[in-house]
């Protein structure tokens, strides 16, 4: 069995055997899980530097084993379920969040140049779809069900209140996030992520420059979508004990915990793909193909570092400020950006 893979711009379609797709699927999920403890350690170390303290330095060399110790501690804790909780939904909710987070990772294109593996051309992406952006938003919406069901199935007032806050927040900022990308879609005329990266390479300019407003809106809305500071109202422990996952502990809490960091990695990779040129390096058009994935990972690390920097800098917003900022500022600004981009796209001089 072979599958016909959509070729990037200017290339020829090629067929991938089933074993190549199976290996790629395994590698994508293995790398996704492997990056979580690395990003977790990197965040704690970076936060320590921002706050003038060393960060984790007890477990392993320079604290390198601290994330594994944290995750292991959670996995070996007793699995607790509140009396009266809806059992199967209580168990399924964190799994939904984890699956939705991991399912978006195959959409990230690491290169448009297939690599020869055992005489077979293999693309450096899991899925090169013509509607990649729509699939990304679809799985983002599915991930919100893990939050809603987790809070509702716990039969706890604090959890239910946190889930309702989460629903309102995700719906509010998802609208602005989608509108922010209309400028990129209209400029490229495609929903394919690899085509968007190719367009930035052909024009020799990252979309961060002509779509600076859309990039800002997308970045801020993404912070709210992945529940990062200053938009982490879903887990506001000072107000809601633990938000939607108040009643979760042990391995089930670990699934939510890991899903949050997978979302963080995907958010950095998506921003670098849409606005930072993906695998393209400025002023180096003849770069060898094998370094393309490392370029994407380096840009992702930069975006993740900025998100961590924001966590160390900004305080958490009040809920009314969060909703007002989303509906009264981001949404009108995203609409205006889409209208201005449309005018430039259809203008005679364009």
What's the pLDDT score for residue 219? 96
Residue 45 within a domain: no
What pLDDT shows up at residue 14? 56
* 164 within domain boundaries: yes
Dihedral angle of Cα 106, 107, 111, 115, to the nearest 10 degrees: 40
β-pairing verdict for 120-122 and 115-117: antiparallel
Beta bridge mates, 122:
115
Owning domain of residue 268? 78-346
Prior bond to 266 cis, omega within 30?
A: no
Q: What percent of the chain has pLDDT over 70?
A: 93
Q: Please check whether residue 19 lies inside any domain of the structure.
A: no
- Short-list 78, 69, 197, CA closest to 132: 197
Q: What is the pLDDT of residues 172-223, one digit of tens each?
A: 899 899 999 999 999 998 899 999 999 998 888 899 999 999 999 999 999 9
Number of domains in the chain: 1
Residue 27 domain flag: no
32 falls within a domain: no
Residue 177 located in a structural domain: yes
Position 55 in a domain? no
13 within some domain: no
pLDDT in tens, 312-329: 999 888 888 989 999 999
Give the tens place of pLDDT for each residue, 141-175.
888 888 889 888 988 888 888 888 888 888 889 98
């Amino acid at each position: 069995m072979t599958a016909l893979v959509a070729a990037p711009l200017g290339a020829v379609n090629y067929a991938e055997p089933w074993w190549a797709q199976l290996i790629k699927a395994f590698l994508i999920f293995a790398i996704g899980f492997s990056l979580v403890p690395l990003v977790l350690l990197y965040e704690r170390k970076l936060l320590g530097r921002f706050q003038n303290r060393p960060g984790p330095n007890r477990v392993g060399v320079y604290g390198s084993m601290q994330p594994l110790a944290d995750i292991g501690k959670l996995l070996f804790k007793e699995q607790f379920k509140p009396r009266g909780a809806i059992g199967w939904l209580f168990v399924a909710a964190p799994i939904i969040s984890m699956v939705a987070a991991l399912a978006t990772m195959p959409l990230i294109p690491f290169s448009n140049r297939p690599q020869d593996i055992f005489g077979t051309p293999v693309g450096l992406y899991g899925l090169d779809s013509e509607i990649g952006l729509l699939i990304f938003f679809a799985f983002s919406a599915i991930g919100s069900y893990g939050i809603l069901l987790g809070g509702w199935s716990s039969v706890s007032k604090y959890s239910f209140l946190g889930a309702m806050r989460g629903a309102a927040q995700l719906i509010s900022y998802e609208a602005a996030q989608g509108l922010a990308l209309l400028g990129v879609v209209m400029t490229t005329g495609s929903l394919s992520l690899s085509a968007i990266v190719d367009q930035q390479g052909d024009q020799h300019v990252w979309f961060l420059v002509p779509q600076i407003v859309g990039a800002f809106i997308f970045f801020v809305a993404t912070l709210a979508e992945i529940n990062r500071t200053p938009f982490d109202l879903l887990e506001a422990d000072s107000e809601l004990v633990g938000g939607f996952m108040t009643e979760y502990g042990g391995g089930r809490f670990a699934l939510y915990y890991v899903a949050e960091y997978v979302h963080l990695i995907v958010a950095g990779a998506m921003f670098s793909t849409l606005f930072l040129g993906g695998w393209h390096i400025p002023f180096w058009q003849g770069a060898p193909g094998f370094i393309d994935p490392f370029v994407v990972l380096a840009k992702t690390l930069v975006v993740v570092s900025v998100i961590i920097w924001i966590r160390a800098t900004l305080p958490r917003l009040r809920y009314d400020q969060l909703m007002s900022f989303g509906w009264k500022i981001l949404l009108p600004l995203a609409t205006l950006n889409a209208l201005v981009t449309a005018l430039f796209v259809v203008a005679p001089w364009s």
